[in-house]
Amino acid sequence: MQTTTKTTQHFKCPACGTLELITGNPGEQVLITCHSCNARGKAVIPTTSRTIPQTTITPRQHTSTAITLSHLKKMFGDFTAVDDVSFTVKKGEIFGLLGPNGAGKSTIIRMLCTLSRPTAGTATIAGYDIVRQDDDVRSHIGLVSEKMIMYDELTSRENLALFGRLYNIPERQLQQRITDLLKFVRMEKWADARIGTFSTGMKQRINVIRALVNEPDILFLDEPTLGLDPQSTSDIRDLIRKINTDHDTTIILTTHMMTEADMLCERIGIIDKGNIVALDTPTNLKKIVNGTDTTVLDIQITNLTPGLITNISTSPAIKTVTQEDETHIKVHVIGPNAFDTIIDILRDNGAKVQLVRNIEPTLEDVFLHLTGRQVREKVTETVTHNGGGHGPRRRPARRVR
């Protein structure tokens, strides 16, 4: 039997010019993501050893619309949960809805998945109206909800089969699809193990592929990494990328983790109190802060006290002060001479300064700039363990102004 040896080649991203490495068999078509600008496309491994010319890779272009929302509104009595929301999601895109708990993210997802009817406005999924053509909508979507939908007494295969039969998938086809999905998330060894014996991260992997049994065009992920440990969180994020890249699945992701949205999403809608307050790429959203004569500084103060923070925050040049831990604050300073301004303020208030560092704005800073408050009291991805532990403990972040 003739064997083919894989080769490693360079390609030059046509979008930003960065050189990347790809590995594959000669003549093989390979999916590529540029690590610098996230441009996506396909390239063919050449049959002879040479650098792949720029013209052989074309960044993936989203040319059609998968989801459209037009003036969507949802009220519960007198309370407006979603208020006149409009946006579109392109086919093959990872689109993020970013905001605090209670902002309206999950309510939007429930309406788009036909689980809740809108009070006003319209929306379409894969071209089907979510109210008038709800059966057609459900045949094109998968949902990983905030709560894990699994049966502990059933095995992985039995759980997947149970949900697959709800779609009337022929049994032989269903079993093959289950086998393929378990391999997809490296869980084939636990196909016949009860879900109740799994770790939370293992359960969530099965929970995600449960939503893929019907091979949906569009996948809704509502807080998919909530409550997971850091390693499981990383695994689920890798899985989300793989689903999107391998199957060109459109993904709607809701989260209040800023880093998660930044790493995964091509565009992000920031939602607060039922309204979309900004919508753009992560890079462009961060420019909102940079373009407003605002400088973000990380400051370490050895004698940091609540009174000192209050005194600092009263200056007209200070927009916000957020306490990060016992000695660190993050300060948004307004004006062209931000560094000199903050130094004068600190000296006037007797602060013993160890460090002043100019930092790049994050999506958390964008949200704070747009809404005047943080997404949550403490933005962290560290799992909180009960009982004792080693190392210093950080107090919850406290925004003063």
CATH number where 72 lies:
3.40.50.300
Number of folded domains in the chain?
Answer: 3
* One domain for residues 35 and 95: no
* One domain for residues 275 and 292: no
Q: Which of 16, 42, 59 is the last residue of a domain?
A: 59
If we measure between CA atoms, which residue out of 79, 12, 64 comes closest to residue 274?
A: 79
Residue 2 covered by a domain: no
Tokens matching residue 370: 């747009």
* One domain for residues 242 and 290: no
* One domain for residues 271 and 296: no
* One domain for residues 244 and 312: no
Residue 355 covered by a domain: yes
Residue 88 covered by a domain: yes
251 phi, psi to nearest 5 deg: -125, 130
Tokens matching residue 366: 């964008």
Q: Which of 280, 296, 328 is the last residue of a domain?
A: 280
* One domain for residues 270 and 310: no
Contact (Cβ atoms closer than 8 angstroms) between residue 99 and residue 285: no
Q: Which of 259, 280, 301 is the last residue of a domain?
A: 280
* One domain for residues 53 and 113: no
Assign 3-class secondary structure to 298-360. EEEECCCCHHHHHHHHCCCCEEEEEECCCCEEEEEEECCCHHHHHHHHHHHCCCCEEEEEECC
Residue 92 covered by a domain: yes
* One domain for residues 42 and 102: no
In terms of residue numbers, what domain contains 300? 285-399
* One domain for residues 183 and 261: yes
Instruction: Tell me the whole-structure pTM to 2 decimals.
Output: 0.69
pLDDT values of the chain reduced to their tens digit, one per residue, 401 residues: 444 455 556 566 665 555 555 666 676 666 666 655 556 666 666 665 433 333 333 444 555 999 999 999 999 999 999 999 999 999 999 999 998 888 999 999 999 999 999 999 999 999 999 999 999 999 999 999 888 888 999 999 999 999 999 998 999 999 999 999 999 999 999 999 999 999 999 999 999 999 999 999 999 999 999 888 888 898 999 999 999 998 899 999 998 888 899 999 999 999 999 999 999 999 888 888 766 677 888 899 999 988 888 888 888 888 888 888 889 998 888 777 777 888 888 888 888 988 888 887 888 888 887 877 665 544 333 333 333 333 333 444 444 44
Residue 311 covered by a domain: yes
**234 burial type by CB count under 10 A (0-12 exposed, 13-18 middle, 19+ buried):** middle
* One domain for residues 269 and 316: no
* One domain for residues 150 and 198: yes
Question: In 10 A of CB 90, how many CB atoms?
Answer: 16
